[in-house]
Amino acid sequence: MQASENSNDDFLFIDDSDEDEILAFGSDETWQVLIVDDDPEIHSVTQLALSDLIVLGRRLEYLHAYSGKDACQLIDEHSDIVLVLLDVVMETDDAGLNVVKYIRETLQRKDIRIVLRTGQPGYAPEESVIKEYDINDYKTKTELTRRKLVTTVFAAIRSFQQIATVNETRLGLERIVTGTTELSSKHSLSTYSQGVLTQLQSLISDDISGVFCARGQGIIDNIDDLSFYVLAQIGFDESLINQKLDNLKNEQISTQVKACFLQQKHQYLDDCLNLYVAKGDHRAVIHVKISCPLTEIQTQLLNVFLTGVAVGYENVHLFQKLTNAAYKDRLTNLPNRLEFVRLLDRFAQSGQQGQVAALIDINHFSDINDALGQDIGNKLLSAVGQRMQYMNPECQFARVGADVFGIIGPADQVTPENLMDLFHQPFTAGEQHLPINACFGLCTKEHAQSSGVQVLNQINIALNIAKKNRLEHFAYYHSDIEDQMQWRLNMIRQLRNDFSNNCLELWYQPQLSLSTGKVIGAEALLRWRTANGKFVSPAVFIPLAEYSGLIIEIGDWVISQACQQLKVLEKNFSDISISVNVSIPQFRQDNFVDNIINTITQYKIKPNKLELEITENILMDEPQIIIDALTKLKAQGISIALDDFGTGYSSLSYLQKLPLDRLKVDRAFVTDINKEGQSVIAETIINLGKKMNLKVIAEGIEEIEQQERLIELGCDEVQGFYYAKPMPSDEFINFLQQQS
């Protein structure tokens, strides 16, 4: 609307003031005010009326638009506009209201203050429109005296500042909430402290630099002094992490951090901040370099944020303690089994080749614990852990079990030779110097499966194989091992099922007297006939039965079957005895002796008709247990025979202690007995038996020449294919009948 078309415009900005405006000198900052009117004169008189006006310490800066379209473009381009003095009627009757809609709806600017002005009262917007679009004021141009215009502008800008303050505070609090939530997911001191510095950038400014500092003792591994260390940095050198603050070589920063720590309060300076973080026993200082002083709102928000940071800092420490309890071994301070599995996960899933994982098992550690006490045992384990770390700094170690350690490292370091070198020198434990050795199970990255649990199982399999290897105390895992294990498990499962289904049989091989040629007894031999009618060799299934523990049940069954057979023989062949082989697991049963005596009593047979055969190797394990058990059985009248004599490693002193009735010469000493110079050992055993008043029986006789030589040597009894092969019970009865 042009000024000439409105006679009322002559009254615009009549000075109704009876005194001058009080203006104060402000800063260089300004408030941007947009004047929107299609009359250039209105722009001039408005700017003249507001000249030299200072609002809240700032002068006004003016932008001009002469249409609604131009106004929208200017508002879009200038984000600093705080107030719009807007004519309602311009190129169209609702041009001013369209500008309002653009500000509030399109640009979503809720903070800009809007004052509507019109020279035509009839074009006043509805009250609902003023409320809906948050219009700060509405005036006709005739109402706007200079004093009223100043008052309106002052009120509008104050309103803008209040809204801006609220918005800044709201946004700051939103950042604090978001930042605190993000920090709560940081569970290590390094990631948490780095996260705090990142959030400070969001709260203060992107161009800040800073360091997060704390005393190193108890926070950084292998650090026990009270110097300040850098846990995180931003804007400095990455190499500072976990290094002393003094390495920054900035005396001012070091002095300020120490002063803040001692004074236990924040220091807000013009160019830097020293922020004190404390909760419980956990304290730290954050030094931040800033380009300009903080505003009052920034300071208030920062104080709120730091309260949450302190709580989070304590929580991280508590979480670290829980993590250490869950994933660290207290005794050696090494990772424990759980953490080792996580390390093996990374080992298995990484693309890095040339790596090896291994287990180290200390031999006979329980003996050290029992003999010297648990305290010495603990010190020994600590010494082993320290030596491993010292000698192989590039490797990762863990304590996986009571006396088992884990190691992951380069293939050229984790070798059997290097691992054995760890144990060449004795270990110091208290006042003790203990020479020890170990077994090692290893798995290369090439053969490792895809998860840590699987790899741990693989190296544990290799370790078990190494323990059973008497020549080499190490073993590498390879794919064939699992095939062998699967075969073993299937065989054990089938053996259990067939034993339950009475598929095992007891066969008998006759034993004869060399002096009379008559059958004097038989050795009971176990046979396994599978469902398809084929036999599994005892050399295959007996070790499986011992490995699985099934040998105890089978052994009890064999003794019961032998007693039943003796009961059958009692009618017509009462002079026949039966020999039964007994294994070390049977001896370990507390009720082993009682079970045999009870079985003999149950079937009412003569005890001396049952003979128990043991091998020399049994004596290597727990000789006194064997001797005590045999002595009790001997007292009941049961015969005792030592099988395979001369092939084992037992001491002759144990031989004197055994309550024996018979020595058995192994087939290895009989095979070539008729050849020149090949009968020395057999002759020695026979002579030894005579001196100890023991019967001597030779097994494996297949030729008449062997028999003749044994007669020459004075052997008492024999068994072998030359006389009869092992046979089922009914065939054995027939054999006895034919012999009689």
For the chain, give every residue range classified as CATH 3.20.20.450: 490-739
Q: Would the pLDDT of 654 be above 80?
A: no
What percent of the chain is predicted at pLDDT more than 90?
55
What is the pLDDT averaged over residues 415-442?
Answer: 94
* CA gap 380, 434 in Å, rounded: 8
DSSP 8-state secondary structure symbol assigned to residue 589: S
What is the pLDDT averaged over residues 114-141?
Answer: 68
- Mean pLDDT, rounded, of the chain: 87
Q: Would the pLDDT of 7 be above 60?
A: no
User: Is 286 in contact with 274 (CB distance < 8 Å)?
Assistant: yes
In the chain, the N- to C-terminal Cα span, in Å, equals 146
Sign of CA dihedral 729, 730, 736, 738: negative
For the chain, the maximum distance between any two Cα atoms, rounded to a whole number of angstroms, is 158
Which spans in 398-537 are helix H? Answer: 416-421, 452-468, 479-500
Fold that domain 337-477 belongs to in CATH: Alpha-Beta Plaits (3.30.70)
- Looking at 1.10.10.10, 3.20.20.450, 3.40.80.10, 3.40.50.2300, the CATH number of the domain 490-739 comes to 3.20.20.450
For the chain, give every residue range classified as CATH 3.30.70.270: 337-477
* CA gap 230, 372 in Å, rounded: 45
Which spans in 501-583 are helix H? Answer: 538-548, 550-569
Give the lowest-confidence range in 26-40, 194-208, 454-468, 550-564: 26-40
pLDDT value for 360 = 97
Type of residue at 102: Y
Domain 184-327: CATH superfamily is GAF domain (3.30.450.40)
Q: Would the pLDDT of 655 be above 80?
A: no
Residue 643: name the closest of 625, 624, 627, 666 by CA: 666
Type of residue at 364: H
pLDDT value for 15 = 44
- Looking at 3.40.50.2300, 3.40.630.10, 3.10.450.50, 1.20.140.10, the CATH number of the domain 3-168 comes to 3.40.50.2300
Type of residue at 523: E
Number of H helices, E strands in the chain: 24, 27
H helix or E strand, kind and range, residue 526: strand 519-529
| pTM for the full predicted model | 0.53
Q: Would the pLDDT of 145 be above 80?
A: no
Q: Confidence class of residue 49 from pLDDT cuts 50, 70 and 90?
A: confident
For the chain, give every residue range classified as CATH 3.30.450.40: 184-327
For the chain, give every residue range classified as CATH 3.40.50.2300: 3-168
SS3 148: helix
Residue 245 backbone dihedrals phi, psi, to 5 degrees = -60, -30
Q: How far is CA 317 from CA 180, 199, 220, 313, in A?
A: 16, 20, 12, 6
